[in-house]
Amino acid sequence: MKSLNKERLDKIISSQFNISRSEAKTCIRRGQVLVGGTVAKDSGMLVTPETEQIIFNGERLAYKKNIYIIMNKPRGVLSASTDKSRKTVVDILPEELKRSGLFPAGRLDRDTTGLLIITDDGDFAHRIISPKKKIKKTYIVWLDADITPDICRKFSEGVTLSDGTLCAPSKLTRIDKNVAEITITEGKYHQIKRMFGTVGIGVNELHRKSVGGLTLPENITEGLSRELTEMEKNSIFMPV
């Protein structure tokens, strides 16, 4: 059986209620936190959050070590945790999903829409992002020119970007004259735009529809997000 770890109380309160560590300390000092029915005095007290009852401002803590969120990223929002002036994907999460340490598992460009995973679990994110894991990411792409069989062939062999970077083979399937589906297993900077750049084609729009075996559900419309179910989480790593 997995052993349960003890954690500092201020750390637990800060991560689970999306407040800073110093705010958590202040709340504990003011007697706003109860552990096992007794007012906690010490911010540094060690608690097992899975088994000990924690109440903060009268609200019972439903502890989750990590959180896994699916978002349909809207255009114009930055794939980052914070930014000085621009709105980020973490900024637009509903309050009940916000907590400290959240970050997007992989980046979509500011003008790209679609499936984005946001989590505070670094190992999970690594399994999605690392090119070594070869998790397929599928996008719909709208182009400023027609797609030819020759371009599909070039992409399937792996293209070399203008700076010499080699891309792994990808699958390009024509949907309409200038609309295609493309599946890649890496996440190089502006990868798809730069790949089409090698054949002199511009990308007008880009939308990510799936990551591994997980497809963006239709009812998660642009800007919406919710927690992933256990089954959805696992489906990311299923072979497709």
Query: In the complex, which residues of this chain contact ligand URA (CB under 6 A)?
Result: 108-109, 112, 190-193, 206
DSSP structure class, residue 128:
H
Q: Which two tokens stand for residue 61?
A: 């803590």
What's the closest the beta carbon of residue 149 comes to ligand URA, in angstroms? 22
Give, to the nearest 10 degrees, the angle between helix 21-29 and helix 9-16: 120
Q: Is 120 left (phi over 0), alpha (psi -120 to 50) or beta?
A: alpha
Q: Which two tokens stand for residue 163?
A: 């700076």
What's the closest the beta carbon of residue 150 comes to ligand URA, in angstroms? 21
| Side-chain half-sphere CA neighbours of 15 within 13 A | 17
What's the closest the beta carbon of residue 193 comes to ligand URA, in angstroms? 4
User: Which element (helix H / strand E) includes 142?
Assistant: strand 137-143
Number of DSSP helices (H) and strands (E) in the chain, helices first: 6, 15
Q: Is the Cβ of residue 102 or residue 108 nearer to ligand URA in the bound state? A: 108
Q: Is the Cβ of residue 13 or residue 151 nearer to ligand URA in the bound state? A: 151
Nearest to 116 by CA among 83, 75, 172, 155: 75
109 is catalytic: yes
Distance CA(123)–CA(98), nearest Å, equals 19
All residues at 6 or more sequence positions from 148 whose CB lies less than 8 Å from its CB, including other chains? none
Q: Which two tokens stand for residue 102?
A: 């959240």
Q: Is the Cβ of residue 25 or residue 137 nearer to ligand URA in the bound state? A: 137
What's the closest the beta carbon of residue 224 comes to ligand URA, in angstroms? 19
Q: Is the Cβ of residue 206 or residue 214 nearer to ligand URA in the bound state? A: 206
Q: Is the Cβ of residue 88 or residue 191 nearer to ligand URA in the bound state? A: 191
User: Which element (helix H / strand E) includes 16?
Assistant: helix 9-16
What's the closest the beta carbon of residue 165 comes to ligand URA, in angstroms? 13
Given the residues 10, 42, 83, 109, the one annotated as active site = 109
Nearest to 47 by CA among 10, 15, 8: 8
User: Which residues are marked as active site?
Assistant: 109
